[in-house]
């Protein structure tokens, strides 16, 4: 049995930030990652994807030394590949010990410790951080007739670029960030017709460098205040999209975020223009499918050549911790920002604008608490964060010189 004090599950932003913050406090950490490299979620996302949170609000914690910064030349809204590079630099600069190609299958209690059942054997640990991703498992609704549909139907997670959809009639389902962006990309890059099916009208924000700052400020206020301010901003920037099928929803951004953990659609103005000139046609929600067609709410039946379901994700935690009673009815952790069980935490499960920056804060808080517990357990205090940072600073400088 592999014995460890601290194990982190997942080498995405949340897991890497957790490991870095623990390492900075002199605590050795093993990171288990199912993929063969760090940042696997981002490597698999579509080619055009850029962050909707601006660079200053997308950094992981790191007291200002090199691996916490994006490389020179990175745009204000880093591209997918720039973010992957950043996460690789961050893992290397922080000397994070990642055991790749190792999938966590289940966590069991073992007296006052945890046993992690992995695809490469069991690991026993005192402290576990699960950072396996809020957007873990692509979710496609179980529409009646789905199994009969004979045409391509993929989740947005499988979409890469518009190339396979040249001259095609495409139905994109779901008006979140991904659905809107994919619809736009198809509309301006060769698809013959693009429709966007909407069940619940989205809250919309225009991508802006200071957007995350405004959101962070408003998260400190009652949701009704943030809702009113962003509704005003929408009216001013976007205008009324009711005649195109996108009325302003009754429930504002911050109320919806609190109630359903659903973030707004953050898009560029060009997407709104495409809706206004009907290169993207808004249609009602999908009700059912048959061999060749899609029945929409209200009765219309359309025959798209392909359907792309930008219909969200699930956390996929049931097989791992479902038996421990730590999940709510939707399969998300009941307790975040604190221990969910003694020695077990979830990081990255509180979606919000500038989520990556926030998960860095969660990681720092968790590392502080774990360091305190470790100090009590061993009866001594480990190196201060400042002292622990020195060798990493040197490593960061070295990798900077090599870059
Ligand atoms: C399309 C899209 C765009 C986004 N854009 C932004 C943005 O602009 N700004 C922002 O702040 N946030 C954004 N987010 C939200 C969020 O910040 C990112 O998804 C971020 O990558 C989440 O980090 P994470 O570490 O929690 O999860 P992930 O990045 O998904 O990393 C989880 C890691 O855990 C691994 N893993 C999963 N299960 C297991 C297991 N059982 N065993 C071992 N390893 C496992 C995975 O392989 C993965 O490497 C976006 C999300 C999506 C879907």
pLDDT in tens, 185-238: 999 999 999 999 999 999 999 999 998 888 888 888 999 999 998 888 888 888
Quick one: average pLDDT of 331-345? Answer: 95
Tell me the per-residue pLDDT of 18-48, one tens digit each, with 9 for 90 and over.
Answer: 999 999 999 999 999 999 999 999 999 999 9
Pocket test for ligand 1, best of 41, 101, 105 (most atoms within 8 A of CB): 41
Paired strand residues for 313: 138
Q: Is 13 in the pocket of ligand 1 (CB under 6 A)?
A: yes
CA of 336 to the centre of ligand 1 (A): 16
Please tell me which residue, 5 or 219, carries the higher pLDDT value.
5
Return the pLDDT at 391. 45
Contact residues for 122 (Cβ-Cβ < 8 A; gap 6+): 1, 2, 115, 116
Tell me the per-residue pLDDT of 47-88, one tens digit each, with 9 for 90 and over.
Answer: 999 999 999 999 999 866 666 789 999 999 999 999 999 999
Rg (CA), the chain: 22
CA of 12 to the centre of ligand 1 (A): 6
- Which atom of ligand 1 has the smallest separation from the CA of 136? 30
Tell me the per-residue pLDDT of 261-309, one tens digit each, with 9 for 90 and over.
Answer: 888 899 999 999 999 999 999 999 999 999 999 999 999 999 999 999 9
CA of 232 to the centre of ligand 1 (A): 31
Tell me the per-residue pLDDT of 360-370, one tens digit each, with 9 for 90 and over.
Answer: 999 999 999 99
Quick one: average pLDDT of 338-360? Answer: 94
- Which atom of ligand 1 has the smallest separation from the CA of 134? 26
Return the pLDDT at 260. 84
Mean pLDDT score of the chain: 91
Residue 97 has pLDDT above 60, yes or no: yes
Which residue owns the Cα nearest ligand 1 atom 12?
Answer: 355
Quick one: average pLDDT of 319-333? Answer: 96
Residue 177 has pLDDT above 50, yes or no: yes
Residue 142 has pLDDT above 90, yes or no: yes
CA distance 349 to 351: 6
Assign 380 a pLDDT band (cuts: 50, 70, 90): low
CA of 28 to the centre of ligand 1 (A): 23
Paired strand residues for 136: none
Quick one: average pLDDT of 124-137? Answer: 97
Assign 390 a pLDDT band (cuts: 50, 70, 90): very low
Return the pLDDT at 368. 96
Considering the chain, what percentage of its residues have pLDDT values greater than 90? 79
> pTM higher than 0.95, yes or no?
no
Return the pLDDT at 65. 63
Q: What is the 3-state secondary structure (H, E, C) of the chain?
A: CEEEEEEEECCCHHHHHHHHHHHHCCCCCEEECCCCCCCHHHHCCCCCCECCCCHHHCCCCCCCCHHHCCCCCCCCCCEHHHHHHHHHHHHHHCCCCEECCCCEEEEEEECCEEEEEECCEEEEEEEEEECCCCCCEECCCCCCCHHHCCCCEEEHHHCCCCHHHCCCEEEEECCCHHHHHHHHHHHCCCCCEEEEEECCCCCEEECCCCHHHHHHHHCCCCHHHHHHHHHHHHHHHCCCEHHHCECCCCCCHHHHHHHHCCCCEEECHHHHHHHHCCCCEEEECEEEECCCCEEECCCCEECCCEEEECCCEECCCHHHHHHHCCECCCCCECCCCCCCECCEEECCCCCCCCHHHHHHHHHHHHHHHHHHHHHHHHCCCCCCHHHHHHHHHHHHHHHHHHC
Q: What are phi and psi of 220, to 5 degrees?
A: -85, -10
CA of 83 to the centre of ligand 1 (A): 12
Return the pLDDT at 400. 37
Return the pLDDT at 262. 82
């Amino acid at each position: 049995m592999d014995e460890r004090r601290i194990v982190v599950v997942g080498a995405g932003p949340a897991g890497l930030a957790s490991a870095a913050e623990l390492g900075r406090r002199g605590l050795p950490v093993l990171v288990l990652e199912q993929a063969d490299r760090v940042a696997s979620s981002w490597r698999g996302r579509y080619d055009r994807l850029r962050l909707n949170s601006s660079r200053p609000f997308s950094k992981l914690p790191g007291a200002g030394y090199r691996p916490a910064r994006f490389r020179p030349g990175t745009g204000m809204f880093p591209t997918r590949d720039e973010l992957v590079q950043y996460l690789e630099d961050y893992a290397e600069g922080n000397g994070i010990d990642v055991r790749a190609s190792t999938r966590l299958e289940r966590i069991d209690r073992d007296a006052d410790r945890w046993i992690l059942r992995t695809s490469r054997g069991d690991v026993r640990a005192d402290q576990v951080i699960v950072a396996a991703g809020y957007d873990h498992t692509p979710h496609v609704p179980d529409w009646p007739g789905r199994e009969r549909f004979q045409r391509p139907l993929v989740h947005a997670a499988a979409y890469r670029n518009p190339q396979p959809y040249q001259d095609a009639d495409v139905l994109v389902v779901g008006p979140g960030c991904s659905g809107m962006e994919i619809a736009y990309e198809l509309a301006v890059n060769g698809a013959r017709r693009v429709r966007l099916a909407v069940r619940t009208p989205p809250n919309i924000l225009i991508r802006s460098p200071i957007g995350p700052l405004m959101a962070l400020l408003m998260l400190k206020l009652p949701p009704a205040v943030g809702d009113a301010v962003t509704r005003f901003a929408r009216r001013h920037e976007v205008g009324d999209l009711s005649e195109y099928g996108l009325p302003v929803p009754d429930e504002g951004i911050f109320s919806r975020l609190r109630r359903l953990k659903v973030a707004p659609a953050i898009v560029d103005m060009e997407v709104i223009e495409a809706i206004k000139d009907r290169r993207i046609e808004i249609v009602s929600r999908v009700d059912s499918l048959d061999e060749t067609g899609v029945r929409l709410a209200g009765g219309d039946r359309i025959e798209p050549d392909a359907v792309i379901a930008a219909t969200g994700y699930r956390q996929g935690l049931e097989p791992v911790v479902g038996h421990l009673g730590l999940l709510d009815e939707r399969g998300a952790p009941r307790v975040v920002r604190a221990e969910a069980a003694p020695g077990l935490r979830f990081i990255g499960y509180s979606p919000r604008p500038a989520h990556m920056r926030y998960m860095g804060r969660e990681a720092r808080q968790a590392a502080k608490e774990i360091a305190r517990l470790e100090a009590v357990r061993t009866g001594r205090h480990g190196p201060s964060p400042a002292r622990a940072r020195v060798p990493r600073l040197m490593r960061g400088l070295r990798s900077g010189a090599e870059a």
